[in-house]
Chain A
Amino acid sequence: MNMSPNTSQETILKVEDLKTYFPMRTGIFKAVDGVSFELKRGKTLCVVGESGSGKSVTARSILQIVDRPGRIEGGSILLTRADGSVTDLAKLDPRGKDIRSVRGKEIAMIFQEPMSSLSPVHRIGTQIGEALRIHFGIRGNEQRERVLELLRQVEIPRPETAIDRYTFEFSGGMRQRVMIAMALACNPQVLIADEPTTALDVTTQAEILDLIKKLQQSHGMAVLFITHDMGVVAEIADEVLVMYRGKVMERGPVEQIFHAPQDDYTRRLIGSVVKLEKKAEVRLTRAPIAAEAAPLLDVKNLSLTFPSGLKAVDDVSLVVRPGETLGIVGESGSGKTTMGRCLLRIYDPQAGAIDFRRPDGHTVDIRTADKAELKDIRREVRMIFQDPVGSLSPRKNVGQIIAEPLKLAGVKGRELEDRVSELMVQVGLEPAWRERYPHAFSGGQRQRIGIARAIAVKPRLIVADEATSALDVSLRSQMLDLMMKLQDELGLSYVFISHDMSVIRYMCDRVAVMYRGRIVETGDTDQVVNHPQHDYTRALLSAIPHPDPRERRIHKRFRYDPARTVSANG
């Protein structure tokens, strides 16, 4: 907070004491409560905060496009316009002509969900060209030429055909490029990017970040970048604004925020991010898992082809040793979730073997196990789901949810009650909450309920599918720590599926990298992270934003092209 703005640079937008409130039945919700900042030409300001911090509402307030019933209650948004005059955007009528002449022309915006933020029934050329028509009256062939030029700028291949296509014919990354082209149409002075890469894979994210940087330099734009990802902040920010519950916690140059944070909240936030940058401490001190121990799970040449013809799992082999955590990492569509579900026979793989060692030492192939055997095995192999909302029936209370597997295993009466209470304590929930329904719990608490259900019947192996991706970063390490604590207490093994390399590195002993249904590399986590052998792994690792502004690296990343192994542009 003690950072005084450097006034020598050219300020385009100056926001002071901005207040955006949502009147509710239950009272006024102060989504943005006294926020001030400045945007300077050619510079990037990152607004960072967890969900509900008001960062997105802040961005929308600037263009006066806050959803109803929200409205600006106070403060000023001073825009220095191209002709040198200054306008207070906060004073303009949200439906009026004046604010419209700013939107898209002087300040443009891109959004998180490129799919739903674009109309599915209009050609992309039409949608991009609209801003040109509205602000400059450019139509027809001239408009088409300009749009083609924009598509070239955002590096969309074959612009001549792409211009007449629809959004659903593009991949997520390409859609976001379309959004960017749309935003650039009128050469705005300011670009507001509201979590533009959150819905994208890391490799795609890296490319979009590159593109924004490049265009910012060539157009001399100021960029206001909203994100929850501290890694992204470290990679691109010049200045950072940390928000929490509608208020600014800290504001300063990126260097200061990461290396000399002044505020407690910032310190905690950075702390939880940095904590996930290395292996968990409890794992550093643990004795290594004996490599020669008989494997608990031995998957051989597993394959699953969906009726659509998609080879979701393609000749996958892997081993899980007792007490070990095996990470499966991959981007969306890599088949990691499908593979995890095959291990419990939620899907029926067509070929291969899933040999599981029972407590008495003999092995059973889960892929071909009969119904009774499968039922037994599913008590020993359990699952934790990604979505803490969808995985708990909203119609059962917590006691009933946790008791369900126990009841089906034949536990009854007093013993059942005691066991449920015991489990709740074990995962850090109050046993007194057992009468409550899932809707009364937060995301982190719900995930704990899911964990309690998984460990209720004393399993030996747990398949955790993106168990922490739905949680804010500060909750993430807590959840991982809980899982490791339980691992040590109960002698569990985990198959930990994630798209997030940092949680894999934090928790997993070994890691397998999946790409398009295949495992391209397996090895000790340290080995794979520090010395990746496969080009895809190298590309994946080098695209991950590193939460240290002193070590920006994604612009130097390695690009993987399965056809040519190395390429200039993936």
Chain B
Amino acid sequence: MLRYILKRLVFAIPTLFAVSIIAFIIIQLPPGDYLTTLMADWASQGGAVEAGTVAAMRERYGLDQPIYFQYYKWIWGILTAGDFGISFELGKPVTELIWNRLGFSLLLSLLTLCFVWAIAIPIGILSAVRQYSISDYTATFLAFFFLAVPDFLMALSAMYVMSAWFGQSVGGLFSPDYVDAGWSFGKLVDFARHVWLPVVVIGLGSLAALVRIMRANLLDELSKPYVTTARAKGMSELELLIRYPVRLALNPLISTLGWILPAVISGEIIVSVVMSLPTTGPLLLRALLAQDMYLAGSLILLISVLTIIGTLISDILLALTDPRIRFQ
């Protein structure tokens, strides 16, 4: 078991390395660099820039060095000093800007995952056990429907419905009164009143996918011979269902965490943009549009790293619940 976890950890290292390279490529991808954008800006405002200033800035940001050196400098800064570079646009260190937002992103994703799992498993079980019943068909159709509606459309529609029918404005995670207030019970209640909608909106797509998977897994397991064995022991149908097929159908579901998590984080980003939530989404979009590449790259890197850690946790969970993997 310990060996398995160690192996997984060792495997994660090259993945993290590769992700950092991809993030860095994204930083480097736009033609020119931030300074050319800046110069263009200044030029359009009528101001000329002295060649000396540009050269000095280039040196300061290391933009005149070979590309691998820039990468080395960047990653070294992150690893040794937690220095993600400077947001050109906002003129602040990236670290100052992101942690708070990253925290909310993480929180929102975790809440969504809990929501998705808590709802998907019972619906999936019901759908499989009552195969071809009205409830199964309804669940199946709804699952297909929500798979077909993109997150941001869901967010927009939800906001439209809330404002047109209930006269509520939706957006943010807090009421204006609480945004800058410290944590209190009142703030928590306010948070809960705001957060449920994004959670549902982000979760519905993955929920639909999970219901389908749970249903298919359980149908597979229900036809396995060990179910007959347990029945032949005299076990009641309900105990049998929970103790055997459901227990086994959950294993592959745990491994879906590896892709549900990226999907939820993706959904979180785009929904946050629409609903203007204080998470990484709007910040990332803004950074990308402004070619504020250190900020954008750092966000992509951190989001990916979180995902990889999540996948790692799901691998370990799977090993804990499935002895077949543990004993490999």
User: Which of these binds chain B: A109-117, A251-259, A481-489, A511-519?
Assistant: A109-117
A310 at the interface (CB under 8 A from B): no
Partner of A166, one of B229, B321, B327: B327
A100-B235 in contact given A113-B225, A120-B323, A121-B251 (Cβ < 8 Å): yes
Partner of B225, one of A97, A111, A131, A134: A111
CA distance A116 to B227 in the complex (A): 9
A170 at the interface (CB under 8 A from B): no
B234–A102 touching, CB < 8 Å = yes
Residues of B within 8 A of A108 (CB): 232-233
Residues of B within 8 A of A250 (CB): none
A65–B232 touching, CB < 8 Å = yes
CA distance A95 to B251 in the complex (A): 27
A105-B226 in contact given A121-B322, A169-B327 (Cβ < 8 Å): no
- For A132-155 the 0/1 string (1 means CB < 8 A from B) is 001100000000000000000000
B324–A120 touching, CB < 8 Å = yes
CA distance A179 to B327 in the complex (A): 22
Residues of B within 8 A of A169 (CB): 327
- Identify the closest chain B residue to A109 (Cβ): B232
| Min CB gap B28→A, angstroms | 42
Residues of B within 8 A of A113 (CB): 225
Residues of B within 8 A of A131 (CB): 233-234
- For B236-269 the 0/1 string (1 means CB < 8 A from A) is 1100000010011001000000000000000000
A117–B225 touching, CB < 8 Å = yes
Residues of B within 8 A of A121 (CB): 247-248, 251, 321-324
B233–A111 touching, CB < 8 Å = no
Residues of A within 8 A of B225 (CB): 111, 113, 116-117
B324–A117 touching, CB < 8 Å = no
CA distance A97 to B236 in the complex (A): 8
Partner of A134, one of B234, B247, B322, B324: B234
B92 at the interface (CB under 8 A from A): no
CA distance A166 to B169 in the complex (A): 56
B100 at the interface (CB under 8 A from A): no
Partner of B231, one of A103, A116, A179: A103
- For A416-445 the 0/1 string (1 means CB < 8 A from B) is 000000000000000000000000000000
B248–A119 touching, CB < 8 Å = yes
A118 at the interface (CB under 8 A from B): yes
Residues of A within 8 A of B251 (CB): 121
| Min CB gap A328→B, angstroms | 32
Indicate the size class of the contact surface on chain B: 20 to 34
CA distance A109 to B226 in the complex (A): 12
CA distance A63 to B234 in the complex (A): 9
CA distance A134 to B233 in the complex (A): 8
CA distance A168 to B244 in the complex (A): 16
- Identify the closest chain A residue to B131 (Cβ): A68
B130 at the interface (CB under 8 A from A): no
- Identify the closest chain A residue to B250 (Cβ): A121
B175 at the interface (CB under 8 A from A): no
* Number of A interface residues in the complex (CB < 8 A): 32
Residues of B within 8 A of A67 (CB): 223, 228
A323 at the interface (CB under 8 A from B): no
B8 at the interface (CB under 8 A from A): no
Residues of B within 8 A of A109 (CB): 229, 232
B323–A135 touching, CB < 8 Å = no
B224 at the interface (CB under 8 A from A): yes
A322 at the interface (CB under 8 A from B): no
A100–B234 touching, CB < 8 Å = yes
| Min CB gap B240→A, angstroms | 10
| Min CB gap A101→B, angstroms | 7
| Min CB gap A505→B, angstroms | 34
| Min CB gap A87→B, angstroms | 14
CA distance A108 to B235 in the complex (A): 12
A135-B234 in contact given A111-B229, A117-B228 (Cβ < 8 Å): yes
| Min CB gap A258→B, angstroms | 31
A104 at the interface (CB under 8 A from B): yes
A182 at the interface (CB under 8 A from B): yes
| Min CB gap B237→A, angstroms | 5
Residues of A within 8 A of B323 (CB): 120-121, 166, 168
CA distance A117 to B228 in the complex (A): 8
CA distance A120 to B326 in the complex (A): 12
Residues of A within 8 A of B226 (CB): 116-119
B233–A116 touching, CB < 8 Å = no
Residues of A within 8 A of B322 (CB): 121
CA distance A102 to B230 in the complex (A): 13
Residues of B within 8 A of A118 (CB): 226, 229
Residues of B within 8 A of A182 (CB): 229, 233
A324 at the interface (CB under 8 A from B): no
A130-B233 in contact given A116-B226, A119-B226, A119-B244 (Cβ < 8 Å): yes
| Min CB gap B251→A, angstroms | 7
- Chain A CB count within 10 A is highest, among B224, B230, B234, B236, for B234
A101–B234 touching, CB < 8 Å = yes
Partner of A103, one of B232, B244, B248: B232
Residues of B within 8 A of A105 (CB): 234
CA distance A343 to B244 in the complex (A): 45
CA distance A95 to B237 in the complex (A): 7
| Min CB gap A128→B, angstroms | 10
| Min CB gap A292→B, angstroms | 54
B233–A168 touching, CB < 8 Å = no
CA distance A120 to B245 in the complex (A): 11
| Min CB gap B271→A, angstroms | 36
CA distance A109 to B234 in the complex (A): 11
- For window 192-245 of chain B, which residues contact chain A by CB distance below 8 Å? 223-226, 228-237, 244
A100–B236 touching, CB < 8 Å = yes
- Identify the closest chain A residue to B239 (Cβ): A134
| Min CB gap A206→B, angstroms | 24
B324–A130 touching, CB < 8 Å = no
Residues of A within 8 A of B235 (CB): 100, 104, 130, 134
| Min CB gap B218→A, angstroms | 14
CA distance A395 to B237 in the complex (A): 42
CA distance A60 to B232 in the complex (A): 9
Partner of A65, one of B224, B228, B324: B228
User: Chain A residues in contact with chain B, CB under 8 A?
Assistant: 60, 63, 65, 67, 95, 97, 100-105, 108-109, 111, 113, 116-122, 130-131, 134-135, 166, 168-169, 179, 182
**Can you list 27 A-B contacts (CB < 8 A)?**
A60-B228, A95-B237, A100-B234, A100-B236, A103-B231, A103-B232, A103-B233, A104-B234, A104-B235, A105-B234, A111-B225, A116-B225, A119-B244, A119-B248, A120-B248, A120-B324, A121-B323, A122-B244, A131-B233, A131-B234, A134-B235, A166-B323, A166-B324, A168-B323, A168-B324, A168-B327, A182-B233
| Shortest beta-carbon contacts, A-B, top 10 | A103-B234, A104-B234, A104-B233, A117-B225, A109-B232, A100-B234, A116-B225, A117-B229, A131-B233, A119-B226
Beyond known contacts A67-B228, A103-B233, A104-B235: 5 more, CB 8 A cutoff = A67-B223, A121-B247, A121-B321, A131-B234, A182-B229
